[in-house]
Structure 1
Amino acid sequence: MTAITVPFTRGLRFEIVKLISQWRIRLLVLTCWIAPALFVIGVSRQSTLPVDTLFGREMLAGGWAAPLVMLGFAGTWALPLLTSLTAGDVFAAEDRLGTWRHLLVAVRSPRRIFVAKALASLTVILLMVAGLAVAATAGGLIAVGDHPLTGLDGHLLTPGDAALRVLLAWVAALAPTLALAAIGLLGSVVLGRNPMGLLLPALVALAMQVAQMLPLPVAVRLALPGYAFISWNGLFTTPAQLAPLLIGVVVSLLWAITATAAAYLLFVRRDFTDLAHDGSGRRALLGGVLPLGVLAALTVAVLLAAVPGAAGSGITQDRVQRSLAVAFAHLYRLQAAQLHRPDVTEGQLQASAACGKGGGLVDAEGAGNDWRCVVTWHLPGIAAVGQAVYQLDITPDGRYVADGDGPKEVNGYFVVRTGNGDAPNPLWQFDGNVELLTKG
């Protein structure tokens, strides 16, 4: 009697249906497609904004800021949780239910089972990610409107340009999401019924977030797949800061491939006749962790050899001064237009910045909230030189918040009337980004 082989497509469809039939997965999918829009609309009705989040202070100025705020939240919390509850449980669920024998009798191939389960979890994760992006974008456009977006260098992006960059940012975030999903598959295979397998992607993501908050060298920072959840901010400068983003995407994909390969090799070598199986043991755990550790070490070594200055923090005096001067020049033109003053070009302004750290008592390098900068500029036909003082709080990943410290007529708090309604003075407080891989 010839055994009937189940077609792969039928097995894949079965795994997708099995995932979607779980109430928690249905709830997560529904939440991803509804909650972001409700959150954005709710924020638009409030007087306070999530200014601690990148583009949070822009949420009332244009609808394209909303999906970026959601992307920042998703990279920190939502996507690690989604990958944990989906990929982190896709194999462990069979261990808990004791259904491996029935599945093997039907499919007759551990390899096809692995591929079907991996693709099914990936399909559901992509459905959730798409929901987060679409719902947040729809909420922002409905609540605020299709208006220009101020980039991280003060440059005003047209709605079409902003839409393209938002799309690219979400696409780039898929790479670290795939890395976390692969880690989830690895944890589900290695740890079996152990609940740590379910939590592994979230714990790894948390560890990478903590690492990004530490004063680590640029090479170590870029060698972690979580950096791609941050480096998309380089898309919102002109020209775009693509080097950190591309490195982050490539590193994330390498992690995804390595973790998936390790999970596959461990799964196909498993003894499914052992009904008491409760994880693959210490050797399998080392077989999963060791390849990722080697990959991280090799990535750090390559970056140290190929990228000048990768052994430092990447936040230098020259880079901070250059970034602040460019952002100030763009925002000065925006302020002039809002106040109906004569337009000047960035070349005419000749804006420059002189920055120090810690009152000059420490080297002007690295993250900290003790940066103080004086921006100078020139106006055509006026001999006097304009000056404005800013206090900068720079995070280890290069993002900074510039807080105006006088004169109040230039960078103090006052309300200006724009085409979208009243808004704070654009030179008062703004977000910026120091590119960690530029020269200087």
Structure 2
Amino acid sequence: MTATTVPAPPIVTRRIPVPRSYRFELVKLVSQWRIRLLVLACWIGPALFVAGVSRQSTLPTDTLFGRWMHATAWAGPLVMLGFAGTWALPLLTSVVAGDVFASEDRLGTWRHLLVAVRSPRRIFVAKSLASLTVVLLLVAGLVCSSVAGGLLAVGNHPLVGLDGHLLAPGDAARMVLLAWVCALAPTLALAAIGLLGSVALGRSPMGLLLPPLVALAMSVAQMLPLPVAVRLALPGYAFISWNGLFTSPTQLGPLLIAVAVSLVWAVLATALAYALFVRRDFTNLAYDGIGRRAITLGLLPLAGLTALTVGAVAVATPSTGSGIEQDKVQRSLATAFAHLYRLQTSELHRPAVTEAQLRARAACTKSDGQGTQEGAGNDWRCVVSWHLPGVTVTGTAVYQLDIGSDGRFVADGDGPKEVNGYFLVRTSTGDAPNPLWQFDGNVELLDTTSKG
């Protein structure tokens, strides 16, 4: 009798599904003490900051909407957004996304993770989604906490826009939320850069530093006298261009371009990180990043994308100059003055007047009329004139303007004292802040709204 051997059935190994891997990676992230501290800080810190500053006698007037923190709860979240776009969000994306892959290299746990999941692609997707979830949780904390602090400390009052018009509390709330939503686009771009650095640089701490360094470089570029096309082609411009939401009509052109550029950066950086990760040799225990190839596989595609977007923006819009021109400055200042004059009239309990009746005009010169009358600088001097119904004498007021390269300006009143020469106005109920003394404004860099 001959014995026959029956082959053993093949062992079927199942890959762990993405939802289970995602939950596992999310638990790993939120179990870290530094992530828990960040969540706690983002959900408590902004409320304490906004509530504390709103009750101080000195306000951060050098920050956009900082001078209105005494007046409305909706100024606080915008001040926090300005701070977050420059410092907080780059650091948050660095700690979360910039370390999500590198931590496995430092701990030497890749082999265990691959044995459990059996798919580098699923590992990449799970880690990326987990880091994105934590980043969104941190951003939501910044928004909700700053809004809560403002509502508790100041109250739900109207907000003065960048052209002086008054936004009702409901409209202000919608615009604040929309501004933070638009800021998510550059945040995603920085998070994707963090993923790319974490994959490409391995144990090197440069993976953690990459998002803040990129954000710092883009912030410096925004302060330089570069053409509008160059600044719009950088993803960090979306941290600035939300200003256009608080004018009437809204200046959507730069904002939409900046958001689109940021999303393209996010997609490309994530795709590069994915391509590098799935091609990695996990059997090499001495792996410590791709070294010099990081320049070829990571830096050059992003540099090429920048050059492509600069060319596309330059062709699609007339934006090869600074975008800050004399007629735009005069139009923006006259519009803001007319709106704020009505606010001052209401404070003084004078007869109401409309912008059409005022017929406000501004005449501005840069450097006392010497040189080209365009570009950023603190050497703009303007004279605003207006008319009141039944009054034959034309009113005039002088302003010194400090205009940034992003189009934001601060108008500092220089007399007469009764109009804009003092920070308080005397009313029948006591002294009140003078809205015409100093105010913020915005010059539209792209000609996308009407000149009416």
Query: Normalising to structure 1: TM-score of the pair?
Result: 0.98
Bigger Rg over Cα? 2
Aligned to 1:197: 207
Q: 1:90 aligns with which of 100, 107, 120?
A: 100
Shift of 1:46: 1.2
Aligned to 2:180: 170
Letter in 1 for 2:182: A
Aligned residues: 439
Structure 1 outlier segments of 4+, above 6 Å:
417-421
Counterparts of 2:19 and 2:427 in 1: how far apart (Å)? 55
Letter in 2 for 1:107: V
2:216 corresponds to 1:215: no
Letter in 1 for 2:340: L
SS of structure 2 residue aligned to 1:388: strand
Aligned pairs (5 A) from 1:1-400? 1-308=11-318, 310-400=319-409
Contact 1:266/1:284 (<8 A) preserved: no
Q: 1:412 aligns with which of 418, 421, 431?
A: 421
Structure 1 residues not aligned, in runs of 5+: none
Counterparts of 2:151 and 2:398 in 1: how far apart (Å)? 35
Counterparts of 1:422 and 1:211 in 2: how far apart (Å)? 42
Contact 2:401/2:412 (<8 A) preserved: yes
Shift of 1:401: 0.2
SS of structure 2 residue aligned to 1:356: strand
Contact 1:172/1:228 (<8 A) preserved: yes
Q: In structure 2, do the counterparts of structure 1 residues 280 and 421 end up closer, same or farther at CA, with 3 Å as the change threshold? A: farther
Shift of 1:2: 1.6
Contact 1:86/1:125 (<8 A) preserved: yes
CA RMSD of aligned residues (A): 1.4
Counterparts of 2:254 and 2:195 in 1: how far apart (Å)? 27
Letter in 2 for 1:36: P
Counterparts of 1:29 and 1:290 in 2: how far apart (Å)? 34
Aligned to 2:6: none
Letter in 2 for 1:430: F
Counterparts of 1:304 and 1:240 in 2: how far apart (Å)? 22
Counterparts of 1:195 and 1:11 in 2: how far apart (Å)? 26
Letter in 1 for 2:191: A
Q: In structure 2, do the counterparts of structure 1 residues 417 and 72 end up closer, same or farther at CA, with 3 Å as the change threshold? A: farther
Contact 1:37/1:135 (<8 A) preserved: yes
SS of structure 2 residue aligned to 1:401: strand
Counterparts of 2:34 and 2:105 in 1: how far apart (Å)? 18
Shift of 1:280: 1.1
Counterparts of 2:251 and 2:437 in 1: how far apart (Å)? 25
Counterparts of 1:151 and 1:281 in 2: how far apart (Å)? 49
Contact 1:190/1:285 (<8 A) preserved: no
Once the two structures are superposed, residues 208-234 of structure 1 have per-residue CA deviations (whole angstroms, 9 ceiling, x without a partner) of: 000000000000000000000000010
Contact 1:63/1:140 (<8 A) preserved: yes
Aligned to 2:7: none
Shift of 1:285: 3.2
Q: In structure 2, do the counterparts of structure 1 residues 242 and 417 end up closer, same or farther at CA, with 3 Å as the change threshold? A: farther
Contact 2:190/2:266 (<8 A) preserved: yes
Shift of 1:420: 12
Aligned to 2:439: 430
Shift of 1:5: 2.1
Contact 2:409/2:442 (<8 A) preserved: yes
Counterparts of 2:271 and 2:429 in 1: how far apart (Å)? 51
Contact 1:61/1:420 (<8 A) preserved: no
Letter in 2 for 1:288: G
More off after superposition, 370-379 vs 409-418: 409-418
Contact 1:61/1:147 (<8 A) preserved: yes
Letter in 2 for 1:284: A
Once the two structures are superposed, residues 42-94 of structure 1 have per-residue CA deviations (whole angstroms, 9 ceiling, x without a partner) of: 11221100111100000001010000000000000000000000000000000
Shift of 1:361: 1.5
Shift of 1:304: 1.0
Counterparts of 1:102 and 1:263 in 2: how far apart (Å)? 21
Contact 1:152/1:327 (<8 A) preserved: yes
Letter in 1 for 2:357: Q
Counterparts of 2:205 and 2:294 in 1: how far apart (Å)? 17
Contact 1:82/1:125 (<8 A) preserved: yes
Q: In structure 2, do the counterparts of structure 1 residues 423 and 81 end up closer, same or farther at CA, with 3 Å as the change threshold? A: farther
Counterparts of 2:287 and 2:313 in 1: how far apart (Å)? 41
Counterparts of 1:173 and 1:360 in 2: how far apart (Å)? 38
Counterparts of 1:209 and 1:31 in 2: how far apart (Å)? 24
Structure 2 residues not aligned, in runs of 5+: 1-10
Contact 1:234/1:242 (<8 A) preserved: yes
Q: In structure 2, do the counterparts of structure 1 residues 131 and 421 end up closer, same or farther at CA, with 3 Å as the change threshold? A: farther
Contact 1:333/1:345 (<8 A) preserved: yes
SS of structure 1 residue aligned to 2:302: helix
Contact 1:369/1:394 (<8 A) preserved: yes
Query: Normalising to structure 2: TM-score of the pair?
Result: 0.95
